[in-house]
Amino acid sequence: MTEPYRGIDHLGIAVRDLDAAVKTYRDVLGFAVTGRERIDARGIEVAFVETGAGRIELIAPTRPDSEVSGFLEKRGEGMHHLCVRVDHVDQKLAELKAQGAKLIDSEPKPGAHGTRVAFVHPKGTNGVLLELAEHGHH
């Protein structure tokens, strides 16, 4: 059985300074910004921008070897990844692996707000880093 995709969860934007980015998105652009959270296991801090339908995730490094540091150094600030929601990320990873997808993470890791996430390499997605996210079941 195929594990279905459940729509775009968010678009990720890499930023150097989360406070400054939150100010811009909230005070200049007028979005509601919610759900700020540090994810120390990955060296990042994130905040979510609510657009009315769909969210933007602002991601900033909290240490030099963070998950987004290389990207920021090479490419600068900007669009970093696309996240699609799934119900069972372990099953989706197993499927993708069997189908020859180019995975970055073979095991899920912690995401914001209790999600479990894994990334697929841009070399295997025509150039876009793809995140898969399983939200907690309440």
Q: Which of 3, 45, 57, 134 binds Co ion (CB under 5 A)?
A: 57
Q: Does 108 bind Co ion (CB under 5 A)?
A: no
Count of residues engaged in binding Co ion, rule: CB under 5 A = 4
> Which residue type does 72 have?
L
Task: Give the per-residue contact string, 118-137, with Co ion (x = CB under 5 A; - = no).
Answer: -------------x------
Distance of CA 43 to CAs 24, 50, 59, 69, 78, Å? 22, 23, 10, 9, 18
Q: Look at residues 91, 66, 82 and name the one whose alpha carbon lies nearest to residue 119.
A: 82
What size, in residues, is the chain? 138
In the complex, the smallest distance separating the C-beta of residue 61 from Co ion, rounded to whole angstroms, is 14
- Interface with Co ion (CB under 5 A): 12, 57, 83, 131
